Amino acid sequence: MSLLDRIVNDPAVCHGKPTIRGTRVLVSVLIDNLAAGVSEESILKNYPSLHPDDVRAVVQYSAMLARADVIPTPHRPAAHAP
């Protein structure tokens, strides 16, 4: 089983947003936690249904998304020189 097999999109679960298989834990919530500096140990304590491989799958998923050419980024006007 690939790490990415742990992440699913099921229209019947959380409106089809990516979740960890067998849970209603949103991938985006885990990414937000990791970005905020929450440790893997704390995440696993706060979400006891998760396995360490679930956290690794989220990191791998994030890396895959970062390589995609179609991810929209917020529009920010270019800074103008004074």
Q: Is 26 helix (H, G, I), strand (E, B) or coil?
A: strand
Q: Which residue has the tokens 């050419």?
A: 69
Residues 70-75, mean pLDDT to the nearest whole number: 57
CATH class of the domain at 3-67: mainly alpha
Q: Quote the strand ranges of 21-80, DSSP E.
A: none
Q: What is the pLDDT of residue 67?
A: 86
* pTM attached to this predicted model: 0.80
Q: Is 62 helix (H, G, I), strand (E, B) or coil?
A: helix
Mean pLDDT (the chain) is 88
Residues 67-74, mean pLDDT to the nearest whole number: 65
pLDDT exceeds 60 at position 28 = yes
Q: What is the pLDDT of residue 17?
A: 93
